[in-house]
């Protein structure tokens, strides 16, 4: 009951706002608009944005995790990696996107902005997890003659999985936002960003709200998909118990 109380209060406030002003559509007006538009509007636009966000999510996280692993192996590169992560976080995406659009065109800005949106979170989360590895376990690997690769594979990567999974959960909605911002810049004729721009230009408030809610659901789906994928990988590699070493290794 307590879990339903928050959404119920929010829905009530939304209904009151919709009845009090013309600038906010009522919930039933939004639902009616969504039903009227149906799959013909939502399915193609959501699928295109989801694909762009997924590509950016993959590329951005590969780069972020690779940088974090490099720092774990070569600790002296940490200041450079930290500066790179901060730059990716601080540069305004709406200022960077037009440059990418002019140089590459097409849907490249969608994928690029989605990738940039996830880099900082995933890099910092993964690096934090790698640095949280148990010092005693690292010393044990060193005592048995292990090198940096052995420490990374047997101790640091397993220790980093929970933190990396949490970072990927946060990164998934960020990738959706980056993809929508890329579509806002133009150069494409479909996607959630394009549909939102068209609805705003025609002052179709119910459709604008409906598309915004659909984008929120897409971001939420990405969050839960990243969470499920992380738990699945952890379970398959290290089992349901404590993380020590991959199955079959000692």
Q: Where is average pLDDT lowest: 2-6, 117-121, 204-208?
A: 2-6
Q: pLDDT at residue 243 above 50?
A: no
Q: Report the residue count for the chain.
A: 250
The more confidently predicted of residues 167 and 104 is: 167
pLDDT at 172: 93
Considering the chain, what percentage of its residues have pLDDT values greater than 90? 32
160-203, pLDDT tens digit by residue?
A: 888 899 999 999 999 999 999 888 877 778 889 889 888 888 88
pLDDT at 235: 76
Average pLDDT score over residue span 80-101:
84
Kindly tell me the sign of the dihedral angle through the C-alpha atoms of 183, 119, 237, 227.
negative
pLDDT at 152: 77
Q: pLDDT at residue 6 above 80?
A: no
Place of tokens 């060193």: 142
**Distance from C-alpha of 245 to C-alpha of 134, rounded to nearest angstrom:** 13
Alpha-helix runs per DSSP H in 106-242: 108-131, 135-143, 148-151, 157-184, 192-201, 205-238
pLDDT at 176: 94
Q: Determine phi and psi for 22, rounding to 5 degrees.
A: -85, -10
Q: pLDDT at residue 232 above 80?
A: yes
Q: Determine phi and psi for 21, rounding to 5 degrees.
A: -145, 150
Average pLDDT score over residue span 224-237:
82
Average pLDDT score over residue span 86-110:
82
The more confidently predicted of residues 144 and 231 is: 231
pLDDT at 14: 79
pLDDT at 247: 43
108 within 8 A of 139, measured Cβ to Cβ: no
Mean pLDDT of all residues in the chain?
A: 83
**Distance from C-alpha of 135 to C-alpha of 139, rounded to nearest angstrom:** 6
The winner for highest mean pLDDT among 2-11, 125-134, 231-240 is 125-134
pLDDT at 24: 83
């Amino acid at each position: 009951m307590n879990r339903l109380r928050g959404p119920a209060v929010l829905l009530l406030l939304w209904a009151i706002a919709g009845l009090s002003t013309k600038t906010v559509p009522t919930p039933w007006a939004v639902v009616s608009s969504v039903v009227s538009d149906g799959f013909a509007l939502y399915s193609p636009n959501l699928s295109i944005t989801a694909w762009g966000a997924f590509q950016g999510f993959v590329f951005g996280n590969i780069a972020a995790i690779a940088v974090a692993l490099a720092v774990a192996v070569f600790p002296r590169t940490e200041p450079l990696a930290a500066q790179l992560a901060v730059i990716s976080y601080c540069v305004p995406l709406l200022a960077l996107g037009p440059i990418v659009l002019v140089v590459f065109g097409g849907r490249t800005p969608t994928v690029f902005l989605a990738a940039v949106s996830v880099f900082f979170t995933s890099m910092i989360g993964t690096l934090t997890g790698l640095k949280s590895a148990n010092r005693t376990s690292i010393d044990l690997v060193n005592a048995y003659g292990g090198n940096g690769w052995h420490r990374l594979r047997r101790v640091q990567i397993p220790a980093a999985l929970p933190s990396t999974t949490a970072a990927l959960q946060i990164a998934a909605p960020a990738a959706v936002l980056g993809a929508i911002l890329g579509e806002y810049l133009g150069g494409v004729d479909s996607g959630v960003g394009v549909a939102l721009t068209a609805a705003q230009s025609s002052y179709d408030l119910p459709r604008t709200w409906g598309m915004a809610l659909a984008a929120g659901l897409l971001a939420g789906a990405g969050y839960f998909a990243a969470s499920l994928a992380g738990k699945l990988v952890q379970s398959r590699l290290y089992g349901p118990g404590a993380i020590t070493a991959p199955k079959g290794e000692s």
